[in-house]
Structure 1
Amino acid sequence: MRGAPESHSGWTFLTNHARVLTAIAEDPTTRIRDIAARCRLTERAVQKIVSDLEEGGYLTHTRQGRSNAYHIEDGTILRHPADQRLTVAELLSLLAQHDDEHGEDKRKLQSAGGPAADPEADV
């Protein structure tokens, strides 16, 4: 079993709730343990966030054997008053576009033999 994720000091642009939701959007059958590793959170924190998202109507889950399959309610409006015209689907689309562009940049660096060619390198 791994230790606690590295702590992060300072502020970030995305909340942990947005990170967890993004991880679920990419793989609706992902495990809490995998979300925790990806988002650098504890499993307990991810469980609480998933519970928050379900209570808020952003997410549902169904049991599939011993696993969960999550479903994101795409049309749900974001919670903050300044974001009320933005849906979850639109937010996830923006984040996916960023990931696609970042992935393309990384592939270009790899083909040029840049830092991304090293799988241990952090771009």
Structure 2
Amino acid sequence: MPSSSHHPGAAASPPPAPDRSGGAGAGRPPWTFLTNHGHVLLAVAQSRDARVSEIAAQVGITTRATLTILKDLEDAGYLTRHRVGRRSHYTLDVHRHFRHPATAAHEVGELLAVFAPGVSRGTPDGA
């Protein structure tokens, strides 16, 4: 029997899509082509002196997740963190190859050339 809130003749609204976002905020799609690691790398490429909170806001993740990703990228050699006073400055290795076997022949600088075109692919710093 229909619930008392159902109005005859009203179009039924579809059920909400399952949340497969892994905790993504409202308005974010359930998946994207680039991972959060890729988005953090792009954010750093666009602003080498960005604060962790600024990177987190741009990517749409928590500062804790951003710190974890920055550490992952540093451990893998994609970026190096230098302290400049109380701030961090990041240097990118644009010649580092992608980790997935299907794309391992490509350098991360190729991704930056598409999404952060102001970043030079000619030097490890990208400067």
Task: Give the TM-score normalised by the residue count of structure 2.
Answer: 0.69
Cα shift at 1:5: 7.2
Cα shift at 1:56: 0.6
Q: C-alpha separation between the residues in 2 aligned to 1:85 and 1:5?
A: 31
Higher RCO (CA 8 Å, separation ≥ 6 residues): 2
Candidates 35, 40, 47, aligned match of 1:27: 47
Identical amino acids, percent of aligned pairs: 41
Query: Counterpart in 1 of 2:104?
Result: 84
Q: C-alpha separation between the residues in 2 aligned to 1:6 and 1:12?
A: 13
Query: Counterpart in 1 of 2:90?
Result: 70
Q: Which runs of 5+ in 2 are unaligned?
A: 1-22, 118-127
Letter of the 1:29 counterpart = D
Cα shift at 1:96: 2.6
Q: C-alpha separation between the residues in 1 aligned to 2:73 and 2:89?
A: 14
Aligned partners of 1:20 and 1:35 also within 8 Å:
yes
Aligned Cα root-mean-square deviation (Å): 1.6
Are residue 58 (structure 1) and residue 81 (structure 2) matched? no
SS state of the match for residue 37, structure 1? helix
Q: Deviations over 1:21-75 (max 9, x none)?
A: 0000001000000000000000000000000000111110100000000001111
Candidates 66, 69, 82, aligned match of 1:46: 66
Letter of the 1:54 counterpart = E
Aligned length: 94
SS state of the match for residue 44, structure 1? helix
Q: Which runs of 5+ in 1 are unaligned?
A: 98-123
Aligned partners of 1:29 and 1:69 also within 8 Å:
yes
Aligned partners of 2:45 and 2:116 also within 8 Å:
no
Q: C-alpha separation between the residues in 2 aligned to 1:92 and 1:5?
A: 24
Q: C-alpha separation between the residues in 2 aligned to 1:86 and 1:94?
A: 13
